Amino acid sequence: QGQLVESGGGLVQPGGSLRLSCAASGSILSINAMGWYRQFPGKQRELVALITNSGRTNYADSVKGRFTISRDKAKNTVYLQMNSLKPEDTAVYYCNVQSVFLTQYWGQGTQVTVSS
């Protein structure tokens, strides 16, 4: 904990937008992939979006066309731009980093609430 710092969550109306950020510390030297997961109350975490070191992206079907993941390699930061937000997007969003040695790192989680 503390190696990944998330920010950008909050309360937004349906149809609105948020941008999540996740900054990895410099101690994580060899990143294979970075991604975002979310967890609904009473359910397991699920993949939202993933970006590999080569730039390959993967999205959950429920967010395709609405969310965009990007990475700034120089800053070791991953972003999740969320547009056209829906109430069903309400969840705790977690940043995830995978090293080339398959070590897993998790952010502290940030609450996203979509409600009118």
Tell me the per-residue pLDDT of 58-104, one tens digit each, with 9 for 90 and over: 999 999 999 999 999 888 899 999 999 999 999 999 999 998 888 89
Cβ atoms of 44 and 62 closer than 8 Å: no
| Chain centre to alpha carbon of residue 25 | 16
Helix (H) or strand (E) holding 28: none
- What are the tens digits of pLDDT across the range 7-25? 999 999 999 999 999 998 8
**Token pair belonging to 45:** 């975490």
Q: Where are the beta strands (DSSP E) in the chain?
A: 4-7, 10-12, 18-24, 31-39, 46-52, 57-59, 67-72, 77-82, 91-99, 104-106, 110-114
Query: What is the overall mean pLDDT for the chain?
Result: 93
